[in-house]
Amino acid sequence: MQVIKEMIPVVERLKREGYIRNEKVIQALLKVPREEFLPEELKEYAYIDTPLSIGYGQTISAIHMVGMMCEALDLKEGQKVLEVGTGSGYHAAVVAEIVGKDGVVVTIERIPELAERAKKVLKRLGYDNVIVVCGDGTLGYPPLAPYDRIYITAAGPKVPKPLIDQLKDGGKIVAPVGRKIQELILLEKRECKVFEKRLCEVAFVPLIGEEGWRE
């Protein structure tokens, strides 16, 4: 894919402000056409760094948040990554660019209409290394576990235990936790122990599911 020229000033600002530093994250953001993941009436706002509605009470994350989460995950080429909360499919596409054709992104969406829409867009754009699953993301996806990296795009009361169980030793999870006040958390699993680091305050939609919030 060619560089999206509308994204260049956004990425340059994010670099100046310290949100992103990793060259692979920068290149991925420059390549993924964000407007393709938005409703028609919002496409003109695609390169404004803000969350936007995608229907069903869900949003596409702000560009800086996608970049920050990718940086925190320390993604590598060839990794297997689990995303909880497909939404529009944009974040999964950025991650798919970073892990490359030898990697895979498994993404779970609980709302069937969003899962189907994301699947069609990702397929049309050639992201054959993304697998879209409709289901309860708080339970993870055991058939393809374990995962090198896991990230959640909605805030729950805690990082769901099934996701920690499905993480490889040496793996990392990035997830927002909390309700009114939310924090982005980085978990690292080393020798079956979990180490936690708090990154920053954030604002995400609620994580709904068996291991998340109730409706």
Helix or strand run (H / E) with residue 81: strand 80-84
| Residue among 209, 179, 177 at smallest CA distance from 187 | 177
CB 174 within 8 A of CB 151: yes
Active-site choice (58, 59, 61, 166)? 61
Report H helices in the chain: 8-16, 23-31, 63-73, 90-99, 112-124, 161-165
Residue 61 bears catalytic tag: yes
Active site residues: 61
